Amino acid sequence: MATVADVRDEPGQPPALTSLSLAEAAQKATPKEQVITPFDVSGGFDEQGKPKAIDYDKLVDTFGSQRIDKPLLERFEKVTGHKPHRMLRRGLVFSHRDLDHILNKYENGVPFFLYTGRGPSSDSMHVGHTIPFEFTKYLQDVFDVPLVIMLTDDEKFFHTPKLSLKDVYKFTIQNAMDIIAVGFDMKKTFIFADTSFVDGGFASAFNTNVREMGKRTTINQIRGTFGFNESNNIAEFNFPAMQSATAFATSFPFIFGTDPKKVAKIPCLIPCAIDQDPYFRQCRDNAPRMGFLKPAIIHSVFLPSLRGSESKMSASDADSSIFLSDTDNQIKKKVGKAFSGGQDTVELHREIGGRTAVDVPFQYLTFFMEDDEELERIREAYEKGKMHSGEMKMACTRELQAYVSGFRERRKAVTEEVRKEFMRPRQLIFKGMPGEKERQDAREKRIKALEEELQQLRKED
């Protein structure tokens, strides 16, 4: 009977994770289940203490969402008249809550809006961060709908002891410019940072929804959903109400109008990575009690770390990530060190082929290469041993260099003036937007309120 020591070490694994070193600690190792929350992403560990890949099928069962299957993709294409995005075609956007309801609404001419976001934790985003945004841009183009992007600078400040408000503000500005460079339509997109928006003069309705959601959310709900305990600060317990409020159109009367009964009927679709689902599960639980529709959600998988599919790419680990600010040479070096699914020797690789299921460069190609036929050709050649690991890494390097280079060019065009306009509370232009009379009435009401505030300030002089 084979022992652990008889098992061939997997190529590309760091020394601390090889079979031999794990054998020494096998008696101490205990299996650990995968953990997927907004704050912690891990595929868990097996009986030998070896990290496991994230099990997305298990996540669907655990979270209670639904798989995006072939009939739903066919319906999507029929209703929209567009070929599904490569991430949909390849199962990288894989799970949903009520996407079928959104398609029904769209087919019947009922307007809806998109909502996604980013927690600014570094001054440069990595390519994994662009996945939900690129897909969101596709949805905005296909459905021709307004989009609200929430930058949760407050949440990063609350949850990360080492970050100051000054730090997260700096990250927020840079991240906003990165997001704009993805290519969103300014006329249909509003980006806001929690701290500046909430403290400004346009957040009255938003704050009302935060309070209404907060009143209906219990401490036990937050503990059960996020795993919080007595060591978490009180701001962290309150934040989910903030993230939930953005899912309601009534939070943005300057976009959707001032008739609360009418606006409350506007549905919301949230494209996000699967680790954000806990926020919106509790939002969906409480929305009907507030008289609102449950937001629909569509989930993407994580772009794996360069180290392997056991964890996602992380901004806090520069060696695990391809940043949008990386040079072509940095990308080449990082991909060259990525976890490989190739065999130990060229001879063995030619004999039994490579393992695309664990090969990080191939996984990256599934995210970024548009051509389905070329991707399939590469997969088949690698698995049959006709393409070696060096060639796979070269193909991945070219694709990522082109992707990041295109981003860099678009980023140059994003000036401070452009950023400010994206982040200015204003009327967006879209089908079903408020009529001219309603917009004029709202403007006059706003002007009157500002004039009254100005008069009060003058009296205080």
In the three-class reduction of DSSP (H, G, I as helix; E, B as strand; rest coil), residue 14 is classed as coil
Angle at 295 between CA 76 and CA 443, to 5 degrees: 105
CB 343 within 8 A of CB 11: yes
At 116 the pLDDT is 97
> Residue type at 334?
K
At 316 the pLDDT is 66
Judged against a pLDDT cut of 50, whether residue 18 lies above it is answered with no
200 vs 58: which has the higher pLDDT: 58
**Which of these, 156, 138, 287, lies nearest to 212 by C-alpha position?**
287
* Rounded Cα distance, 16 and 311, in Å: 16
Cβ neighbours for 290, distance < 8 A, ≥ 6 positions apart: 209, 212, 213, 216, 248
DSSP letters spanning 322-368: -BTT--HHHHHHHHHTS-----SSHHHHHHH---TTT-HHHHHHHHH
Q: What percent of the chain stands above pLDDT 90?
A: 73
Judged against a pLDDT cut of 90, whether residue 168 lies above it is answered with yes
At 1 the pLDDT is 37
* Rounded Cα distance, 213 and 398, in Å: 47
95 vs 37: which has the higher pLDDT: 95
117 is written with which tokens?
């976001």
User: Residue 280 phi/psi, 5° resolution?
Assistant: -90, -15
Q: What is the mean pLDDT of residues 143-147?
A: 96
CB 52 within 8 A of CB 58: no
Q: What is the mean pLDDT of residues 255-269?
A: 94
At 22 the pLDDT is 43
- Interval 177-223: pLDDT, tens: 999 999 999 999 999 999 999 988 899 999 999 999 999 999 999 99
Residue 433: left if φ>0, alpha if ψ -120 to 50, beta else—which one?
beta
Q: What is the mean pLDDT of residues 41-57?
A: 83
Q: What is the mean pLDDT of residues 64-89?
A: 96
- Interval 376-421: pLDDT, tens: 999 999 999 999 999 999 999 999 999 999 999 999 999 999 999 9
Angle at 410 between CA 404 and CA 414, to 5 degrees: 130
b/e 187-201 (16+ beta carbons within 10 angstroms → b): ebbbbbbbbebbeee
Q: Choose the weakest-confidence range: 46-50, 60-64, 151-155, 305-309.
A: 46-50
CB 396 within 8 A of CB 364: yes
Judged against a pLDDT cut of 90, whether residue 114 lies above it is answered with yes
Write down the mean pLDDT value for the chain.
89
At 436 the pLDDT is 66
Q: At what angle do helices 234-245 and 219-226 cross, to 10 degrees?
A: 90
Q: What is the mean pLDDT of residues 138-152?
A: 97
Quickly state the pLDDT bin for 28 (edges 50, 70, 90): low
* Rounded Cα distance, 98 and 297, in Å: 7
Quickly state the pLDDT bin for 249 (edges 50, 70, 90): very high
* CB atoms near residue 339 (< 10 Å): 21
Quickly state the pLDDT bin for 64 (edges 50, 70, 90): very high
At 8 the pLDDT is 42
Judged against a pLDDT cut of 50, whether residue 17 lies above it is answered with no
Q: What is the mean pLDDT of residues 318-325?
A: 87
At 66 the pLDDT is 96
Q: What is the mean pLDDT of residues 117-130?
A: 90
At 32 the pLDDT is 83
- Interval 279-302: pLDDT, tens: 999 899 999 999 999 999 999 999
CB 226 within 8 A of CB 39: yes
Quickly state the pLDDT bin for 255 (edges 50, 70, 90): very high
- Quickly list H helices, 11-55: 19-24
* Rounded Cα distance, 300 and 92, in Å: 6
Q: Choose the weakest-confidence range: 104-108, 179-183, 224-228, 250-254.
A: 224-228
At 29 the pLDDT is 61
Beta bridge pairs of residue 270:
297
At 61 the pLDDT is 93
